[in-house]
């Protein structure tokens, strides 16, 4: 099979397990609450005759509704198949320098996968010992910058001021701020897109909007950035947002009250659980996301991970430098967190 | 904006126009008939609670149903966001040779766009004067081969024997057979995937299965090929097939009777229209697809294109070498074709 010599061989991203059945799933930061009932309604009433035709290349009503809800011109809004699609396309579009792009060493584990895939040179910037990003570390020569805010898997939040410092001091590079978790208590840099043409802000429906199963991500930036992004997207697959996704996403955006209510519930659960975890001997950076990144003072993370799994409770553990003694625990519903806490009590006190 | 120096600048694929309103749309080879009523039912009954979780990375029930309907093992089936997604991923995965990949000069206009985007060297092989592919032209040194069958926009069909000749004589290259239109009367090379490990067969739900708006494409090949394809896919976006797409696609596949009935209707309309177009002075390669690629003996294609558009009838015209005097006319419903024929009578006899 000498064709194998010409195959692009990669070490793919390994997504969190997707166990089915009667388990408590706190391993992929999904929302414990379903999407708005309006999504149900729009699907029930959907005119399937329209499905025989291609969808709108920009996302149609979904792009328009995002523009309306976020108060940002349509031509500054890009819609993709989850924020992974948006980020992958942005990497391919904007990171073509010989200089390395930079991002934190402990961060979303897809960044180095995309860089490897597209032959983009990169350097990782170590977080400080307390898992914080130091803005001064990002004032250096680079071919592009990616910073998630809040960072994942640490959950730690940077201020808009710190991020603006990085963006304004890197006017020759595209700075991507990955705000997958921003709705859980952070302040977005979105207003800065009108001030800095090198800023791309990426968000998603998968976490705060309870729609990981529908795959919607979006980017916001100046017109020129969004045009470049669309040009590359149109060179890969013109029609990525299908008509069902378009309808479901639009319907969800029409119910901001429901969205705010469910986000508030997740935040309330997180704040309730934080002191209990501390009491149990866990330590973690203060989280502004829908997860905590915790290490225990006596029991190794791997042991807790395995013991929880035996009890049907899934959290995320990486066997990687610096974080192999940490667990990323998604914030589920209150009952799920109570079961988690009971299990952790057993595991950490035996 | 010196970041602009590092932007990947492309000449994107230009999709056919998507006019809305009261027009006759024969420009993007969409099916005139809606998908099976089962799609309506599955959407109406969809449990939106499941949408909060990520979908299956392989397409879940959709992959399983494809496996069942096509009688091909699941691990030989890849599912993507339309065949454009499948083909783009296949180009990125399999075409990494220094030697040029080869495909016809008159063919699907996305092939050279992907090659340009991913810096894949390519050479086009001119079709014969009658727009036919000569199999001997594909017995030469190459880094990969792409052949659509039937070819688009010509509609001309190759025999399985001719394609097997090309596949078997290129065992060091991946040969992609793009069967987007195969269901409209062609014979698929699918049975050959068990004989040749260098064969990837790509199909789509956008044409024969009336679901361009849902974006489903699939590839079939040996286990090794599909594994490589998935590895690259997982390095871009693990979760591309959302749960609504999965459900709608699965439901459509459960109604093969409806599928066969609508395809038979399109074929019947095509065969009815062919002699009428000939009578009007059109010439075209015999079509085994849901379109004809026609040139008129006196009136220039551009003039017909413009005149039809003025009447609210959209067909496809490319201002490109060799084909600028041809129109690609999709086969619509009988009434739509009757209106087209009436308009063509006026335009070609005035």
Domain end call among B253, B283, B311: B253
B267/chain A closest Cα distance in angstroms: 17
In a domain, A6, yes or no: no
Q: What is the pLDDT of residues A174-198, one digit of tens each?
A: 999 999 999 999 999 999 999 999 9
Contact B188, B218 (CB under 8 A): no
- Number of residue pairs across A and B with CB atoms under 8 Å? 280
Is there a single domain that holds both residue A143 and residue A213? Answer: yes
Q: What is the CATH number of the domain that holds A176?
A: 3.40.640.10
Contact B217, B88 (CB under 8 A): no
Is there a single domain that holds both residue A343 and residue A275? Answer: yes
In a domain, A175, yes or no: yes
In a domain, B1, yes or no: no
B chain contacts of residue A8, beta-carbon cutoff 8 Å: 92-94, 96, 228, 232
Q: What is the pLDDT of residues B76-124, one digit of tens each?
A: 999 999 999 999 999 999 999 999 999 999 999 999 999 999 999 999 9
C-alpha distances in Å from residue B73, one per residue of A47, B66, B148, B208:
34, 9, 24, 23
Whether residue B9 and residue A224 make contact (CB cut-off 8 A), yes or no, is no
C-alpha distances in Å from residue A223, one per residue of A70, A180, A240, B24, B228:
16, 22, 20, 33, 36
Whether residue B214 and residue A243 make contact (CB cut-off 8 A), yes or no, is yes
Contact A141, A98 (CB under 8 A): no
Q: What is the pLDDT of residue A274?
A: 98
Q: What is the CATH number of the domain that holds A23?
A: 3.90.1150.10
B61/chain A closest Cα distance in angstroms: 14
In a domain, A75, yes or no: yes
Per-residue pLDDT of chain A (350 residues; tens, 9 = 90+): 688 999 999 988 887 788 888 899 999 999 999 999 999 999 999 999 999 999 999 999 999 999 999 999 999 999 999 999 999 999 999 999 999 999 999 999 999 999 999 999 999 999 999 999 999 999 999 999 999 999 999 999 999 999 999 999 999 999 999 999 999 999 999 999 999 999 999 999 999 999 999 999 999 999 999 999 999 999 999 999 999 999 999 999 999 999 999 999 999 999 999 999 999 999 999 999 999 999 999 999 999 999 999 999 999 999 999 999 999 999 999 999 999 999 999 999 87
Domain end call among A253, A271, A303: A253
Is there a single domain that holds both residue B239 and residue B261? Answer: no
Q: What is the pLDDT of residue A188?
A: 98
Is there a single domain that holds both residue A119 and residue A211? Answer: yes
Structural domain count of chain B: 2
Whether residue A174 and residue B3 make contact (CB cut-off 8 A), yes or no, is yes
Domain end call among A234, A253, A272: A253
Q: Which residues of chain B, if any, have pLDDT below 50?
A: none
B chain contacts of residue A215, beta-carbon cutoff 8 Å: 55, 239-240, 242
Nearest to B18 among A4, A37, A56 (CB): A56
Is there a single domain that holds both residue B99 and residue B176? Answer: yes
Is there a single domain that holds both residue A328 and residue A240? Answer: no
- CB-based burial label for A281 (10 Å; 0-12, 13-18, 19+): middle
Q: What is the pLDDT of residue B1?
A: 60
Q: Hey, how many other C-beta atoms are within 10 angstroms of the C-beta on B112?
A: 17
Is there a single domain that holds both residue A235 and residue A275? Answer: no
One DSSP character per residue, B114-141 reads HHHHTT--EEEEPPPTTSPPPGGGG-S-
Domain housing B63: 37-253
Contact A202, A179 (CB under 8 A): yes
Nearest to A244 among B88, B92, B245 (CB): B245
Whether residue A81 and residue B81 make contact (CB cut-off 8 A), yes or no, is yes
Is there a single domain that holds both residue B135 and residue B266? Answer: no
Whether residue B50 and residue A213 make contact (CB cut-off 8 A), yes or no, is yes
A chain contacts of residue B84, beta-carbon cutoff 8 Å: 236-239
Is there a single domain that holds both residue A150 and residue A268? Answer: no
Is there a single domain that holds both residue A110 and residue A99? Answer: yes
In a domain, A70, yes or no: yes
CA nearest neighbour of A62 among A211, A231, A242 = A242
Is there a single domain that holds both residue A162 and residue A271? Answer: no
B chain contacts of residue A238, beta-carbon cutoff 8 Å: 12-13, 15, 84
Chain B interface mutation, best of A13, A48, A78, highest count of B Cβ atoms under 10 Å? A48
Q: What is the pLDDT of residue A1?
A: 60
Is there a single domain that holds both residue B163 and residue B282? Answer: no
In a domain, A3, yes or no: no
Whether residue A114 and residue B15 make contact (CB cut-off 8 A), yes or no, is no
A180 DSSP 8-state letter: T
């Amino acid at each position: 099979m000498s064709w194998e010599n010409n195959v692009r061989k990669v070490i793919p991203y390994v997504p969190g397990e997707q166990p089915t059945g009667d388990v408590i799933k706190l391993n992929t930061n999904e929302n414990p609450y379903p999407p708005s009932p309006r999504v149900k309604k729009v699907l029930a009433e959907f005119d399937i005759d329209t499905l025989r035709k291609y969808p709108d290349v920009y996302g149609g009503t979904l792009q328009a509704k995002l523009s309306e809800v976020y108060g940002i011109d349509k031509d500054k809004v890009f819609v993709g198949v989850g924020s992974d699609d948006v980020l992958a396309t942005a990497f391919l579009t904007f990171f073509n320098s010989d200089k390395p792009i930079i991002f934190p060493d402990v961060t979303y584990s897809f960044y180095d996968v995309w860089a490897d895939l597209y032959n983009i040179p990169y350097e990782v910037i170590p977080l400080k010992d307390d898992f914080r990003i130091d803005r001064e570390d990002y004032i250096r020569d680079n071919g592009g910058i990616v910073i998630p805010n809040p960072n994942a898997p640490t959950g730690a939040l940077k201020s808009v001021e710190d991020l603006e410092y990085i963006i304004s001091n890197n006017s020759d590079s595209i700075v991507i701020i990955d705000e997958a978790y921003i709705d859980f208590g952070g302040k977005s840099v979105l207003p800065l897109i009108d001030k800095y043409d090198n800023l791309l802000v990426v968000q998603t429906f998968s976490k705060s909007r309870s729609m990981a199963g529908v795959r919607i991500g979006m980017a916001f930036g100046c017109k020129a950035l969004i045009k470049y992004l669309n040009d590359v997207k149109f060179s890969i697959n013109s029609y990525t947002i299908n008509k069902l996704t378009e309808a479901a996403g639009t319907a969800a955006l029409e119910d901001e009250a429901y969205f705010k209510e469910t986000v508030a519930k997740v935040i309330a659960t997180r704040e309730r659980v934080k002191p209990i975890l501390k009491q149990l001997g866990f330590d973690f950076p203060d989280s502004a996301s829908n997860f905590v990144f915790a290490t225990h003072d006596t029991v190794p993370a791997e042991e807790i991970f395995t013991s929880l799994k035996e009890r049907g409770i899934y959290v995320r553990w990486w066997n990687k430098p610096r974080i192999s003694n940490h667990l990323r625990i998604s914030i589920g519903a209150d009952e799920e967190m109570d079961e988690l806490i009971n299990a952790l009590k057993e595991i950490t006190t035996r």
